[in-house]
Amino acid sequence: MSNPPARRMRRFRATESMRNLVRETRLSASDFIQPLFVVDRSDDAGPIESMPGVARHTVSQLGDVVGAIAESGVPAVLLFGVPSNKDATGRSAIEPVGIVPQAIRACRNAAKDLVIISDVCMCSYTDHGHCGVIREDRVDNDATNQRLGEIAVCHANAGADWVAPSAMMDGMVAAIRSALDDAKCEDAGILSYAVKYASSFYGPFRDAADCAPQFSDRRTYQMDPANVGEALAEAKLDLDEGADMLMVKPAMAYLDVIHRVKTAHPDVPLAAYQVSGEYSMIQAAALRGWLDEKRAVLESLTAIKRAGADMIITYWASKVAGWLRES
Ligand code: PBG
């Protein structure tokens, strides 16, 4: 007969109370950021087919939506504008009374203490769907940075606390920081989508934000999913350019990247974006009864936090906050 085991790990798992006592990673409502899609035509509002449970809102609907989010204990929202008028250079992105400035004001009126973060990119505003200005069939990096700076100032002037540039242009953080500072918006922070991969998991978002590229794809600016050393280079560059917080996106297929970036920069708050495809995969399976929604969602979020994310952008934010309050 073999010897009895010297250490019995099952002692830690014997009861729910015991498991609670030794749990290493805990989720709380304050970990989450709720993304919101805002449209300027009421015809465009309503459920998003490829993201069951997520809707697009008009500015006038936003007050109630945001009130409920703040009530749930979620401290922050991330705003995406989905305008109906688009052109080659995304001019509607810098209108002082454009969709995002209006949305920012509506959020502030509904919830005074809410952290309002705005996505700074051009893809929802351009008729070609790319994240920048096109010159000779390529995204022109430096012309795009100029525009991104203007968008950031427009959002900060409307009251955004943070801007989150997601275009993956070289030098975009430096351009935005100096534009904000020149406009006396030095208190506006930058949450940089520093490490953003060219991912198939953005599919449903492109329906939601009406921003699919009309030619080619985003692989000349978003990162190759095969690379992690490059992620560390991107993170360092953005910090050197003045980013206050960093983001890795998507989350679940990139837990190693989250871990590496957090280990390299332990003193910088790190966000992870659980993107639309991650949401829709679980939601679709749950709707068919193939997965337990609540358990799958909590497990995925716990894994992202365990990997090293300090905050998580997730379409389930306020729903999970509700679950956590019940338990
Ligand atoms: C736009 C942007 C995208 C997402 C956030 N900002 C799409 C893209 O880059 O194609 C994806 C978010 C999601 O899938 O939930 N630059």
- Residue 167 CA: nearest ligand 1 atom is 16
Residue 171 region by backbone torsions, left for phi larger than 0, else alpha for psi between -120 and 50, else beta: left
- Residue 168 CA: nearest ligand 1 atom is 16
Tokens linked to 75? 């401290």
**Is the beta carbon of 92 within 6 A of some atom in ligand 1?**
no
pLDDT at residue 326 is higher than 90: no
Return the minimum-mean-pLDDT range out of 27-36, 43-52, 60-69, 129-138.
129-138
Each residue's pLDDT tens digit, 195-248: 999 999 999 998 899 899 999 999 999 999 999 999 999 999 999 999 999 999
- Residue 205 CA: nearest ligand 1 atom is 14
* 85 CA distance to ligand 1 middle (Å): 19
Catalytic residue status for 249: yes
Pocket test for ligand 1, best of 275, 282, 313 (most atoms within 8 A of CB): 275
Tokens linked to 70? 């703040």
**pLDDT confidence band for 2 (50 / 70 / 90):** confident
* 195 CA distance to ligand 1 middle (Å): 12
Each residue's pLDDT tens digit, 134-150: 999 999 999 999 999 99
Torsional sign, CA 167, 170, 175, 177: positive
**Is the beta carbon of 301 within 6 A of some atom in ligand 1?**
no
Task: List the catalytic residue out of 86, 196, 262, 305.
Answer: 196
Each residue's pLDDT tens digit, 85-124: 999 999 999 999 999 999 999 999 999 999 999 999 999 9
Its pTM stands at 0.97
Task: List the catalytic residue out of 112, 184, 236, 249.
Answer: 249
CA gyration radius, the chain: 20
Each residue's pLDDT tens digit, 273-302: 999 999 999 999 999 999 999 999 999 999
